[in-house]
Amino acid sequence: MQCPKCGTENPDEGQICIGCSHVLTDPDTEQQKVKPKISKIAIASALLVGLAAYLTVFLNPTLAFFVALIGIFTAITSLVEIRRSKKKIIGKSFAIGAIIFVTMQTALLSYWRIDAAPVPDDYTISDIKSAAPQHRQSYELLSSLADKYDDLPDAPAIGLSAQDVNTIEQVSKVFKEGNYSQITDVLKENADSIKDAWANAKKARDIVNELDRFPEIADLTEPNLCVDEIRFFKNLKLLAHLYEAFAYLQNEQGNSPDVVTELIKFDSVFRKLSINARFTITKLVCFSILATDIITANSITNNPHASQESLELLTKHFTPLTDEQISMRNPIIFEYLTCKNELTKISRNLKPKHKYSTFSPLKLNSALRLYKNCCDKWIAVEENRREIKELTVWPTIYPNIPVTFDSNDSVPRYYLIYNPIGSIIAGILMSVWDRAFEIKTKHRVYEDLLQIVFNKRLGKDVSLKARAYSDRYIIDKEKKKIFSPGPDGKIDTKDDIKLMINPEVLKLTD
């Protein structure tokens, strides 16, 4: 052994230099004092595996597969290098971690990408109630009330000018928010304009009269999100407010029997359409128009000049809607079919170009199963059925953990991770249906209030027992209204469902 200090050769077993007395060190011990280095190959393997994970989820799974193979090969190479270095090179954890990560990633993502089986016995368009074939022309007549563009200041399809539209909108706002005194004033101010608008809308009124001759009003809307097919809704609501304004005016002038006949024809069309309405928005527009007609009928009933003939016509026609007319079954199934078509399109657009992709933000079948479960529950409520058979939203190899919506219309986080897009869309649809059923309940309340007004005007006994939102309906003689507190349960708020009344006419002044 050569002394590192003076260079003198010493015996191998010597511990002190015979030349300078320097303490000699074992080469292995000296070697151990050298700081080991981390294997660059091991680090590279970890980086390659991370890159493979990124490519798998976001970009190119095929390329990710080859990157992962290179990463595994690199990790194995680094392990061999570390073993041969006799502790001069470290980084074994990087290499082993990379191999474990690739294995777990492959297993988990492969497991995650599996969709549920297709929906068995799925809904079809034949499950929707439709008008008989001989009444299909009624839908064409209804569609003729639509303007080519929905942002026009006028409504040429129903014969109204921009000035007519402006008058109707201003007057209807007063009808909605004002009292009898304000309504009387606005009618006097706009009497001529209302009559002009009524005359200009003759084309639309003729179509309404022709539609009324059909025993059924068809709805031939296809289950696709097409704005063109529902463009006429704007004009229908405008037409409802025109009938309302003209009825108010004619009633004030003592011409109630004629205007009541016109109002009943108009209302009949939407009672018929409500039975076959497909889109939820179509159903809600029917509810809106029918509610406007109820308010108009109420105003005539509360007018002291209303004739006995008018009252008889109103009470005979404005009976509560039948279960078939009020049912949401058609829109529920139709919205499901529309959702199915749109989700299928999204699924095709999201479908990766690469055959072995693992990333799938939309599990189409699972999303449809989740939404169909909700639809089945709503239909069961409509039909007073308690039990339904729920579909599992998971693949067969998954545990069948129930997935339900919370009060915020959100699904559990574990399902959100499994099916991000499906979860979000289903949550949006849930909130829409919550609102739709609330509107349906409000319409039923309007019907109850009108029946109370009818009976009071005819001197019959009435019950103020409420259908919803409170125990009893409230008659406020001072504020001249009969109302329900509405969903918020508080009186005298914007949420109230109310009809204006004339206490003297209804003999409520005692």
Give tens-digit pLDDT for 385-424.
877 788 999 988 888 888 888 777 788 888 888 888 888 8
pLDDT in the model for residue 295: 92
Pick from 302, 83, 26: which is nearest to 175 by CA? 302
Q: In angstroms, how far is the first alpha carbon of the chain from the final one?
A: 127
pLDDT in the model for residue 470: 92
pLDDT in the model for residue 16: 76
Type of residue numbered 251? N
Please tell me the pTM assigned to this model.
0.77
Residue 81 CA to residue 429 CA, distance in Å, equals 58
pLDDT in the model for residue 167: 92
pLDDT in the model for residue 205: 93
pLDDT in the model for residue 325: 94
Residue 430: count of CB within 10 angstroms of its CB? 19
pLDDT in the model for residue 10: 75
Model confidence at 507, in pLDDT bands (50, 70, 90)?
A: confident
Q: What angle do CA 53, 54, 58 make, to 5 degrees?
A: 125
For residue 110, what are its two tokens?
């492969």
Longest dimension (CA), the chain: 138
pLDDT at 309 over 80: yes
Residue 270 CA to residue 284 CA, distance in Å, equals 11
For residue 92, what are its two tokens?
């074994």
The sign one gets for the Cα dihedral 243, 245, 251, 255 is negative
Structure-derived torsion over alpha carbons of residues 65, 70, 75, 81, reported in degrees to the nearest 10: 170
Residue 278 CA to residue 466 CA, distance in Å, equals 30
pLDDT at 30 over 50: no
Angle at which helices 180-189 and 162-177 cross, to 10°: 160
Model confidence at 469, in pLDDT bands (50, 70, 90)?
A: very high
Q: What mean pLDDT value characterizes the chain? A: 83
How buried is 383 (Cβ within 10 angstroms: 0-12 exposed, 13-18 middle, 19+ buried)? Answer: exposed
- CB contact burial 240-270 (16+ within 10 A = b; e otherwise): bbbbbbbbbbbbbeebbbebbebbbbbbbbb
**Rg for the chain (alpha carbons), in Å?**
38
- CB contact burial 322-347 (16+ within 10 A = b; e otherwise): eeebbbbbbbbbbbbbbbbeebeebb
For residue 161, what are its two tokens?
């000018």
- 175 or 129, greater pLDDT: 129
Model confidence at 32, in pLDDT bands (50, 70, 90)?
A: very low
Q: What share of the chain has pLDDT > 90, as a percent?
A: 38
Residue 285 CA to residue 274 CA, distance in Å, equals 9
